[in-house]
């Protein structure tokens, strides 16, 4: 028998937002290298100072925990939405502790260990299964994906020319270490289906590959 009161229970619609990131650390810094005219290692020669002196380095470092994603089963019986997932002999906390990152096929990334993935690529029914009995509800299981870290680096110099004219040069490394930061699901709804034959796999990235930029600005 289907419980129609539960089907109309609006409290079941409460869930963490896809952008619910619990911990974020971000640091910025700039440092004038102590080489050049008027600095600790003084250079009096104009040509040498123009080449080696007056450089500034900068950087941005960021580290944060992962964003949430929902395990789905494809059974649309609760509030006209997914009926959730049935857990067998495992807790949500244990599932969360299993979230990891390891290489997958065709450039994909696995976010769950092999024990949670069946031989057909779907979730291992020994642990995760869709509701199959009429009126049966699973759990709405929200997990948090892998964390993220990223470092950007910059190198800049200002060249004084005659009069009020000058040239500014900047060398930028966006994602300096070319580190792949894995995400689960899309930005519009971070879901992963336990009945998909690619369960636990993702191609999502939070930051693009290393980007090298050179900037030259003439001021007058």
What residues make up the domain containing 136?
4-219
Number of domains into which the chain is organized: 1
- pLDDT digits 0-9 by tens, 62-100: 999 999 999 999 888 776 678 889 999 999 999 999 999
Low-confidence ranges of the chain (pLDDT < 70): 1-10, 12-13, 79-80, 186-189
Q: Output the DSSP codes for the chain.
A: ---HHHHT-GGGG----TT----EEEEEEEEE-SBSTTSSB----HHHHHHHSSEEEEEEEEEEPPPEEEEE-S-EEETTEE--BEESS--HHHHHHH---EE-GGG-EE-S-GGGB-TTSSB-TTTEE---STT---B-EEEE---EEEEEEEEEEEEE-STT-EEEEEEEEETTT----B--SBTTB-EEETTSTTTTEE--BSS-S-EEEEEEEEE-
Give the pLDDT of residue 77: 73
Give the pLDDT of residue 5: 44
**Whole-structure pTM value:** 0.79
């Amino acid at each position: 028998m289907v419980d129609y009161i539960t089907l109309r229970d609006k409290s079941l619609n409460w869930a963490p937002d896809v952008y619910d990131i619990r911990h974020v650390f971000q640091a910025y810094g700039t440092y004038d290298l102590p080489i050049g005219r008027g600095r600790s290692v003084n250079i009096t020669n104009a040509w040498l100072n123009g080449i080696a002196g007056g450089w500034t380095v900068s950087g941005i470092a960021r580290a944060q925990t992962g964003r949430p994603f929902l395990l789905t089963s494809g059974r649309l019986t609760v509030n006209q939405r997914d009926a959730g997932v049935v857990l067998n002999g495992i807790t949500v906390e244990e599932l969360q502790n299993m979230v990891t990152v390891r290489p997958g096929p065709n450039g994909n990334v696995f976010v769950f260990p092999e024990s949670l993935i069946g031989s057909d690529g779907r979730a291992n029914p020994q642990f995760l299964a869709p509701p199959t009995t009429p009126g049966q509800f699973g759990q709405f299981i929200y997990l948090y994906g892998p964390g993220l870290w990223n470092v950007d680096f910059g190198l800049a110099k200002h060249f004084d020319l005659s009069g009020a004219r000058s040239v500014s040069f900047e060398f930028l490394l966006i994602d300096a270490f070319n580190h792949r930061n894995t995400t689960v699901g899309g930005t519009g709804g971070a879901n992963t289906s336990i009945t998909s034959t690619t369960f636990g796999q993702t191609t999502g990235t939070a930051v693009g590959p290393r980007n090298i930029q050179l900037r030259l600005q003439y001021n007058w």
